[in-house]
Amino acid sequence: MNAGITRATEGIDGISWNILGQIYVPKQHSEQSMSWHATFPKGTFVPPHIHPTQDEFIYVLDGCFDLWLDGTDHRAAPGDLVRMPMGVPHGIFNRSDTDIKCLFWVAPSRRLYDLFWALHNLGPNPNPAEVVAVSAAHEVDFLPPEEEG
């Protein structure tokens, strides 16, 4: 990692990813950690999943997330820090009427940077099985949908 400043309006190397309708702008990347600014438009979400090799964090800047953490529902507001230890299942949802802006980071980086390149611009209706398979190949394991009963 090079010393320096990643400006508020920029990502490292000018990168901005469209990940399933959410905008991720990488701010820092090294072997030890990775951070990115994220914008979650209303109605977007990341389904329940596990990072078996990373701790993940979200610092909420604007808006409120609904979260599912290890089987329990939570809400995170501006200024809150969400801690998601490796191996703990979690889902992230914008059920509000406005965009949510936040800063994510993971430690260590592992294969997440490569996963975001693989998912970038898959389109408005990607094949869910492909997203799950690509994610698993990059150390992010999505949980099967809950059965209705």
pLDDT digits (tens, 9 = 90+) for 99-116: 999 999 999 999 999 999
Residue 148 reports pLDDT greater than 70: no
**Dihedral of the CA atoms 132, 100, 81, 140 (nearest 10)?**
10
Residue 149 reports pLDDT greater than 90: no
Question: For the chain, which residues make up each domain, given as ranges?
Answer: 12-141
pTM to 2 decimals?
0.93
CATH number of this structure's domain 12-141, picked from the four choices 3.40.50.1170, 3.40.50.300, 2.60.120.10, 1.10.150.20: 2.60.120.10
Residue 74 reports pLDDT greater than 80: yes
Contact 46, 17 (CB under 8 A): no
